[in-house]
Structure 1
């Protein structure tokens, strides 16, 4: 890994705001961002990414690579939760293993946003269709997780039956984050280019500022939840560190069979390495009510997210550029 690239990533202003958020919580500062503001910023980031992706897709000729990319993304989102479940089931309950497997098979929109900013700082572009790949990777992981739960988790006497697969899939597609990024992608795709230029200052120029504030909040949330799963021992921590790094590294190497684009291969790696802590937890509340949110949310947000944005991104880019 290029040491200069790692240092540049660690001194990125947006990442430093993430660190500031962690420090603010550690020193018990009264720094707080109103929940309504955080929700607005998260929706803005998804809107911006989706809209810009749709605009880029509108100006890109449709090709076999786009179909291969969509298929590859769906394959990753189906395989990762499958083998993750059987690793986790050795030490955890079926409900916890299923929820964690779904989270790690799915993707983190915030990690995707940070990755897009990272590529921009390196002056590397990626295809607009990768936004569609990200959005489509949410549901398959949830579906696989629910199927595994239905297969291996039998409700005890008196417990409610697991909800049907259809209701959980519907919930995953109507989740606010998925609907926003998919809807913005479609709008960007069909919008008139000249009219779209009129909102460019909003979709592009202020993006990094909002991202910095959002990561400040993510830093505070991470610090508050980091110790929540300490009672589960080192196994879950090692899983949250090693499995995403292995997933991202493997995909960074083998994605050259799908595309030659450095930016697209990097995005594939970050999608494979990231874990959902928004869409999947919302779905798992329905599908796996016995699973402990104090385990799978801190794993994804408190361990995997900071590992990816500090060490992961320079590692994946180095692997893409040298394979």
Structure 2
């Protein structure tokens, strides 16, 4: 009982943090149709600055750390990203009025990582005085890229099989019409031009249905995305150079102020996207509410295994859970637009921005921090 009451107290206290306050403020401003706008160029600059700061701090930490400590958390991050996609493929895709391709794209976006959500979690961890490995931010690409690759591969295989299935139906229809044509005396019917059964046709085409999905272009596009590029640039500079002076004098002091602007923009965007979410099945809203919390709890459990086995900090466990609960808001959408062009952006972007991101930030982060603090207290 003490565990539960302590957890609820910490959870409610974290909901009053400035970071979450700006998110909620942005949602309220948009809901009352305020004309306040943040220019897109400023938004992109803010995101770049935040991810550079996170990357620099991670690179500096990696330089002085034992890389073997990262191995198990990195493996868990990779596994979580892939598992999230398969969960969406075999849950959301099975619900009424949900198109399979749209469900796979949505799962891919929820498996990918939001740099802004991660930045918000780092700020809250610092406010709560919870220690974490600075290199934990480097877990971002280990989850982000496998999730996007898995989603695009699954969608490509599904679309290819559907195409071959349609061709099989058409082939059988033609074959049946030809088989009914009379044969002149003395003539022999030629070898059927089409397979005799739909199953036979699909069996012949199974190999081609699983071919043609090139993995490297997907990885390349993910790496070239603005969010991941900024993070990896910061990691490389922190690892290979000595940026401590500019980091302490410029990036560190601006971090929280810039994050508050980003949260305000994301809150306004969340309310604006609700209109798009109404255009698709209500099941997307249900999925977008439940999935971030479920994904985060899965990652939290894996992180606790790393905590017991390798001494991975509870703050690091929280970061792993947060990036699993987040859904990509910068690099993921354009990657999926290019990789799964048949998917409806209103479904996956609306689900992520209107519901998924607010849930991950306003409920997920306090939940995982509360759990970690309760375990520390125990």
Same fold (TM over 0.5): yes
The counterpart of 2:273, out of the listed 225, 228, 231, is 225
The answer as to whether partners of 1:163 and 1:286 remain within 8 angstroms in 2 is: no
Mapped pair 1:150 → 2:156: yes
Q: CA deviation at 1:257?
A: 1.3
Q: CA deviation at 1:80?
A: 1.3
Give the secondary structure class of the aligned counterpart of 2:342.
coil
The counterpart of 2:74, out of the listed 65, 70, 81, is 70
Q: CA deviation at 1:63?
A: 4.5
The answer as to whether partners of 1:105 and 1:272 remain within 8 angstroms in 2 is: yes
The answer as to whether partners of 2:53 and 2:247 remain within 8 angstroms in 1 is: no
> How far does the alpha carbon of each residue in 1:281-310 deviate from its partner, in whole angstroms, 9 at most, with x for none?
111111111111111112111111111221
Seen in structure 2, the aligned counterparts of structure 1 residues 162 and 202 have a Cα distance that, compared at 3 Å, is farther
Q: Which has the larger radius of gyration?
A: 2
Give 1:296's aligned residue.
Answer: 348
> How far does the alpha carbon of each residue in 1:12-34 deviate from its partner, in whole angstroms, 9 at most, with x for none?
12221212211221121111111
The counterpart of 1:14, out of the listed 12, 16, 19, is 19
Give 2:219's aligned residue.
Answer: 169
The size of the alignment, in residue pairs, is: 318
Give 1:308's aligned residue.
Answer: 360
Give 1:130's aligned residue.
Answer: 136
Question: After superposition, where does 1:191-210 map in structure 2 within 5 Å?
Answer: 191-192=241-242, 196-210=244-258
> How far does the alpha carbon of each residue in 1:170-202 deviate from its partner, in whole angstroms, 9 at most, with x for none?
11111111111011011111222xx52244121
Give the secondary structure class of the aligned counterpart of 2:369.
helix
> How far does the alpha carbon of each residue in 1:200-253 deviate from its partner, in whole angstroms, 9 at most, with x for none?
121111110010011111111111002311243431111111122112123223
Could you list the runs of 5+ residues in structure 2 that have no partner in the other structure? Answer: 167-210
> Separation in 2 of the partners of 1:117 and 1:4?
19
Q: CA deviation at 1:150?
A: 1.9
Give 1:237's aligned residue.
Answer: 285
The counterpart of 1:102, out of the listed 97, 108, 113, is 108
> How far does the alpha carbon of each residue in 1:239-274 deviate from its partner, in whole angstroms, 9 at most, with x for none?
111122112123223422112411111011111111
Structure 2 length-normalised TM: 0.79
Give the secondary structure class of the aligned counterpart of 2:78.
helix
The answer as to whether partners of 2:56 and 2:247 remain within 8 angstroms in 1 is: no
Seen in structure 2, the aligned counterparts of structure 1 residues 129 and 181 have a Cα distance that, compared at 3 Å, is same
The counterpart of 1:5, out of the listed 10, 19, 22, is 10
> Separation in 2 of the partners of 1:14 and 1:317?
14
> Separation in 2 of the partners of 1:292 and 1:245?
24
The answer as to whether partners of 2:55 and 2:137 remain within 8 angstroms in 1 is: yes
State which drifts further: 92-101 or 46-55: 92-101
Q: CA deviation at 1:162?
A: 8.2
The answer as to whether partners of 1:131 and 1:185 remain within 8 angstroms in 2 is: no
Structure 1 length-normalised TM: 0.92
